[in-house]
Amino acid sequence: MKVDLLTAEIGSTTTIVTAFDKIDTKKPIILAQGEHYTTINEGDITIGIERALKVIEKKLGEKISWNKFLATSSAAGGLKMTVHGLVYDMTVKASREAALGAGGVIKYVTAGKMRKSHLKKIMEIQPNLIFLAGGVDYGEEETVLHNAELLRDLPLNSPIVYAGNVSVVDEIKEILSNKKLYVTENVYPKVDQLNVEPARKVIQEVFAEHIIHAPGMEKIEEYVDENIIPTPAAVMRTTQLLSELYEHVLTVDIGGATTDVDSVTEGDPEIQSIMTSPEPVSKRTVEGDMGVFVNAHTVIDLIGENNLREKFENYDELVKEISPYPKSEKNERFMATLAEYCFVEGIRRHAGKKKHIYTPLGRKTIAQGKDLTAIKYIFGTGGVLTRSRFNKDIMSSIIWQHKKYPYELLPKDIKKIGYDRNYIFAPIGVISTIDRDIAMNILKEDLEFFDI
């Protein structure tokens, strides 16, 4: 049997392969899905893919071939990055937004002129990519040139992306001629203006090159027909497609180790009028301490063990049985409690705040951070939000949070809550890189909404 398309979402824990057919119609179908643990530790990622394919073939009752194979990955540690800019609240912030939105894992950030201690830290991290920015276009030049000169002598083969002051591009190219250098548009070309999308695209290109050569990933080229993109970037792309359908949208992806939140909204005009600094329309945050498996014990600490003991009589047993695949309704309910905390706290950390400051003219209200007050549609993806029987309870917990935290810029008028019924937000994102219409048709078939 020949299918139109196969996608693989290669995670740090599991690999999920999905077979699609009739993708050139308005009603594409998912034929089957196979899952297996990711085999990067065995030195060959394709072993896990092959085993997931066998699951699909068993479900379909026959061998399959395909016309196209696409993949996303967060295995091999993702794309470790360090970010270096001029002013923390300006170019550094813009650089972070570009890196996170592209699916990067930011390990270290510096602002201003770098020193030997900074270089030592970079060497300890051994980043897959170094992101260098600084200065608005035709503005301050000295800092970014100084930083480039320091990076030039760093005994690392990590590629460098330059997204700073356009007026020194030629000098940057000359200074870093001994490095693999990618030059793109300035992430902060003017004061209070962010320009993160060009840098995001370049970071994803670097990721595709890096992942092919990562340990255990070398043979992936035998399968894929296009560049592999980071799974978080793919989910961001799907969230952007959702924004075309529903405008102000937010997606929460709860995994075993992290909770990612993606929002696409310009915010409320009233809030924008009191913002102290710009935020990107498309924003991603990742909470590395909140997950329902690898970081479950961290979440338990955040909730408070005593609080959970009051709610669950068999608390000790449930803690011992924490697993990505809960074996009973009690286990699933315990995991849902952890997920609810991740869901609400992830959105709260993503959101900005209103603050009062005192000026010679009296008290003034300002806003800082991402404004989510205009969000109307919230979506969930990831194992627990896709497969748990309690996913509605988990996601509905956000509805009244704006009343509990009135100074936080949380969603306050949610129209619908939906979820990724087939666990394919990442595949949809990578499909959109080659055909937006096909991705959109698959997305429409995938969405499931709750009554709220």
Geometric angle at alpha carbon 246, from 241 and 250, rounded to 5° = 70
Tokens of 343: 């869901």
* CATH class given for the domain over 2-76+214-222: alpha beta
Host H or E run for residue 428:
helix 425-431
Residue 344 CA to residue 168 CA, distance in Å, equals: 44
Residue 324 — very low, low, confident or very high, per pLDDT cuts 50/70/90?
confident
251 forms beta bridges with: 262, 379
pLDDT at residue 103, as a whole number: 85
pLDDT computed for residue 115 by the predictor:
96
Residue 421 is given by DSSP the state T
Class of domain 79-205: alpha beta
* Least confident range of 322-331, 404-413, 436-445: 322-331
pLDDT reported for residue 222: 82
Residues 445 and 27: beta-carbon distance below 8 Å: yes
Mean pLDDT over 282-302 rounds to: 94
Token pair of 89, please? 């609240």
Res. 23: pLDDT tops 80: yes
Q: Is the pLDDT of residue 21 over 90?
A: yes
pLDDT for 12 beyond 80: no
Q: Could you tell me the residue ranges of all domains in the chain?
A: 2-76+214-222, 79-205, 230-450
* Res. 76: pLDDT tops 70: no
pTM confidence score: 0.90
Query: Given this chain, do its domains 2-76+214-222 and 79-205 carry the same CATH topology?
Result: no
Residue 257, beta-bridge partner list: none
